[in-house]
């Protein structure tokens, strides 16, 4: 492998909290699925919950979502599952959200502590002039949430937000990375708007005023205890990410919002450009190689999305014009973007 490039980790190497698996299995059982059949299809063992720290492979979580949808004959299983959320479903993360003072504080806690339940799922909260965007994506380029998981995640934010403020929470816009599903009736019922599909990231847009809503029953004292415990769990749950990992994540996020540079990334990481270059060099990596590797990973994801014009792909990757993107793509793959898109379409039809 070329120095500075990283393949996406296999879904079997990424782990999520077993509580997620138990939640999916519980909803499926409530909706009439045979637990034994679900276990046979996915290999999920609910007894693992005897260990509060148990985790399962991401691949098994995705198998649970898909098998649950199949066994319940529910095309919108992820959306319906979100309606079944009750306090405590996801342990410390859930309590960190529900004890916050305001909805914004709750979302900020979700951004900070989601790693307690998922190795690579990340949220970002971005303020704009009159609204705020919360995005959900996987930090590992090349991996994306399955449809039911993605729809559950955004619907759960709306559901929990409504529960903790005792007011209907409705986004002004909703986007998903996956293709348009057969029916949208449930989506419009859950979100109040028609979502956009084949988007670069899954996201919700809220009016900034909505995020100022107080959490009913918010408890500052309990919140301090819960977040202190969550911080301790974060420190002990996994090794600190490498500087290469941090830069790759920042690049992937920045490319989705526009172009980036060494200086921009260094400022985001609160260090000088020279210090960042030195940290990367200690790990045997050059910044330019990371930019190239992340662009290539994102390009392959975007090319497979027929809803994005090739000019849009170039823009999303930070190229000022299509021609430099075409040259870079040929260097990466030996092919043109148009040819790669045709090949991806043929593969999708054959699957």
Query: Does residue 32 have a pLDDT over 70?
Result: yes
Q: What are the pLDDT digits (tens) for 88-112?
A: 888 899 999 999 999 999 999 999 9
Mean local confidence (pLDDT), 229-242: 75
Cβ contact 284:3 at 8 Å: yes
CATH number of 15-232: 3.90.1520.10
pLDDT at 52: 64
pLDDT at 310: 87
Mean local confidence (pLDDT), 27-40: 95
Cβ contact 139:201 at 8 Å: no
Handedness of CA 52, 216, 151, 200 (dihedral sign): negative
Cβ contact 269:276 at 8 Å: yes
Q: Which of 169, 175, 163 minimizes the C-alpha distance to 135? A: 175
Mean local confidence (pLDDT), 112-122: 91
User: Which is more confident, 263 or 350?
Assistant: 263
Residue 185: pLDDT band by 50, 70, 90 thresholds?
very high
pLDDT at 59: 92
- Residues spanned by CATH 3.90.1520.10 within the chain? 15-232
Q: Which of 246, 235, 106 minimizes the C-alpha distance to 165? A: 106
> Residues, the chain, total?
351
Alpha helices, DSSP H only, in the chain? 18-30, 35-42, 58-71, 77-82, 91-98, 103-113, 147-165, 185-191, 208-211, 220-237, 243-257, 262-268, 273-282, 287-303, 310-316, 322-333, 337-350
Query: Does residue 235 have a pLDDT over 90?
Result: no
pLDDT at 53: 72
pLDDT at 178: 92
- Residues spanned by CATH 1.10.10.60 within the chain? 243-350
Q: What are the pLDDT digits (tens) for 133-145?
A: 999 999 876 788 9
Report angle CA 142, 146, 149 to the nearest 5 degrees. 130
At 52, give phi and psi (nearest 5°): -65, -20
Query: Given this structure, which CATH class describes domain 243-350?
Result: mainly alpha
pLDDT at 217: 83
User: Which is more confident, 206 or 267?
Assistant: 206
pLDDT at 9: 53
């Amino acid at each position: 492998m070329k120095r500075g490039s990283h393949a996406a980790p296999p879904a079997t190497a990424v782990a999520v909290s077993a509580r997620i698996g138990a939640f999916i299995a519980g909803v499926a059982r409530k909706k009439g699925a045979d637990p034994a059949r679900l276990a046979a299809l996915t290999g999920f063992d609910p007894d693992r919950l005897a260990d509060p720290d148990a985790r399962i492979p991401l691949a098994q979580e995705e198998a649970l979502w898909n098998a649950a949808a199949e066994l319940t004959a529910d095309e919108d299983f992820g959306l319906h599952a979100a309606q079944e959320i009750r306090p405590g479903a996801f342990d410390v993360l859930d309590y960190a959200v529900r004890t916050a003072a305001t909805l914004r504080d709750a979302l900020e806690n979700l951004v900070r502590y989601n790693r307690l339940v998922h190795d690579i799922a990340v949220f970002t909260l971005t303020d704009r002039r009159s609204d705020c965007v919360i995005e959900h994506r996987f930090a590992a380029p090349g991996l994306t949430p399955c449809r039911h998981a993605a729809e559950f995640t955004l619907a759960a934010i709306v559901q929990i937000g409504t529960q903790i403020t005792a007011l209907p929470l409705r986004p002004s816009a909703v986007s998903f990375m996956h293709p348009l599903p057969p029916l949208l009736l449930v989506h419009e019922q859950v979100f109040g708007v028609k979502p956009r599909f084949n988007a670069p990231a899954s996201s919700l847009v809220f009016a900034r005023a909505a995020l100022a809503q107080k959490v009913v029953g918010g408890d500052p004292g309990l919140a301090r205890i819960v977040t202190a415990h969550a911080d301790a769990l974060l420190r002990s749950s996994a090794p600190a990410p490498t500087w290469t990992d941090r830069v790759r994540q920042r690049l992937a996020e920045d490319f989705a919002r526009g172009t980036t540079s060494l200086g921009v990334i260094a400022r985001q990481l609160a260090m000088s450009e020279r210090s960042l270059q030195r940290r990367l060099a200690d790990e045997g990596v050059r910044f330019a190689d990371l930019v190239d590797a992340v662009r290539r990973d994102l390009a392959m994801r975007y090319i497979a999305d027929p809803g994005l014009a090739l000019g849009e792909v170039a823009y999303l990757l930070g190229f000022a014009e299509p021609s430099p993107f075409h040259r870079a793509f040929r260097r990466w793959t030996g092919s043109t973007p148009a040819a790669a898109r045709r090949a991806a379409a043929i593969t999708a039809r054959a699957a």
